[in-house]
Amino acid sequence: MKRYIFRQTAIIAFLFVFYSLSAQNQISGVVNYHENSSNPLPDITLELFDSGNNLVATTITNNIGEFDFYNIPAGDYVLVSSTSLPIGDINAVDAALVLDYLNGLVTFNDYEFEAADVNGSGNITHGDYQLMINKILGRGKPFPAGDWQFEEVNLTVSSSRNPIVMATVWATSTGDVEGVWLPGGRDGELIASDNQETTVVSEGEIELEIGSNYDNLIRGFNLNFIYPINQIEITDVSGPDENINFDIDSDNGILKVIWLDENKNPGNKFFGEKLFRIKVKQTTNSVINEIGGFSLLEGGMVLDSKSKEIENIEISLPRIITTSSSSIPNPALNMEVICYPNPVINNLNLKITSQNNCNANILIYDLNGRLVKEITNQNITKGTQLIGMETESLPIGHYLYKLNLGNRNIHG
């Protein structure tokens, strides 16, 4: 009887040791944007490394940001994340927050700090601020810190029976200090005002003014426009003070402007009625007596004195008329181009009526100035013709077309 009890005890002890050595565990969790549980992130790749820096397992978050690792042995681990998701919208609010941090007006938590440290130096400096300004203007290269930042999570998995270790990971798109992940940009709150007088542009330089219907104090703005390059050339932009930043894409007729009140007590000096001024002159070969103007592009905003985006604000856009032109012959002056449908579904149609025979390159650009589609050496005959371009392969967004006629361009 004693021998029987000993044998049973030995078997139980052996099974306990065997189970402890072979116990497998589960790690589960979620990846949230800026620790916001209402904004979980899909398509995040998570890699699990052991204490020897060996890759143990890999998984990807589902459409509600959840992930699971199964059959994980007991031990210490590090959870590392990455993604190929597009970056978030970076705008004047984010740049203003960096300024406030530099001026000692706000503090940042971990993910806000990582979002603001766009050069990856481990500190937030005016260099980070300038990189953000360049990015907002569309002339900045990718941030040195990379597109995304993730919390690196240390985990310990015990040898207890079937434990589930829970982990919550924060993520941020580099530069998005505000924490509003909008890869396509904001669906703006800006409205173009219709109450504009027409300004005559002749051979000399004149100034055009951009204003708004908001007559209270403002902290800043970033605004994007298309302007008529067949009529005017922009020579300078001036703002409320010397902190105005702008970028002129004269090939595609795009102007981007950003200004922020950089004073240590911002939002107490400038009003929204007069935002900035544009110095222009008439282009060579501009069309006689043609009325044109500026139009708004998406992604812009005006900030109130507390650095909050002002909703449904009207922006006054200059209208112009040219009064003279050069006598140099130009086929573009005798050509009419109609683009339809708008918005384009799968195909762009250009109805071209020309009084001359010529050749043209038809170019499609995105709003960052990248050439995304083209037809080269297209024969344009005298009369009316219809030219189609397939656009189904292009991502949803706003685009510009250009007809290059040698020394002249037609835009739309």
Q: Specify whether the CB–CB gap between 350 and 400 falls below 8 A.
A: no
Helix axes 126-136, 92-102, angle to 10 degrees: 170
Whose structure tokens read 């361009």? Answer: 409
Pair of tokens at residue 193: 């005002």
pLDDT of residue 4: 33
Adjacent-strand bridge partners of 200: 321
pLDDT of residue 244: 97
Pair of tokens at residue 278: 């544009």
For 160, list phi and psi in degrees, rounded to 5.
-70, 165
**Banded model confidence at residue 22, pLDDT cuts 50, 70, 90:** very low
pLDDT digits (tens, 9 = 90+) for 348-369: 888 888 877 888 888 787 655 6
Q: How far apart, in whole angstroms, are the C-alpha atoms of residue 116 and residue 177? A: 6
pLDDT of residue 412: 56
Give ∠ CA 321-208-302 in degrees, rounded to 5: 125
Pair of tokens at residue 11: 């078997």
pLDDT at 250 over 60: yes
Whose structure tokens read 């209208």? Answer: 319
Give ∠ CA 93-98-102 in degrees, rounded to 5: 145
Q: Specify whether the CB–CB gap between 170 and 32 falls below 8 A.
A: yes
pLDDT at 266 over 90: yes
pLDDT digits (tens, 9 = 90+) for 23-46: 568 999 999 999 999 999 999 999
DSSP string, 285-352: TPPTT-EEE-EE-TT-EEEETTSPBPTTEEEE--EEEE-----S--GGGGEEEEEESSS-SSEEEEEE
**Banded model confidence at residue 327, pLDDT cuts 50, 70, 90:** very low
The region of weakest confidence among 127-141, 258-272, 328-342, 383-397 is 328-342
Q: Specify whether the CB–CB gap between 346 and 389 falls below 8 A.
A: no
pLDDT at 401 over 90: no
pLDDT at 275 over 90: yes
pLDDT of residue 6: 33
pLDDT at 310 over 50: yes
pLDDT of residue 383: 85
pLDDT digits (tens, 9 = 90+) for 189-223: 788 876 667 788 877 789 999 999 999 999 999 99
CA atoms within 13 Å, Cβ hemisphere of 373: 15
Q: What is the radius of gyration, based on Cα positions, of the chain?
A: 29
Mean pLDDT of the chain: 84
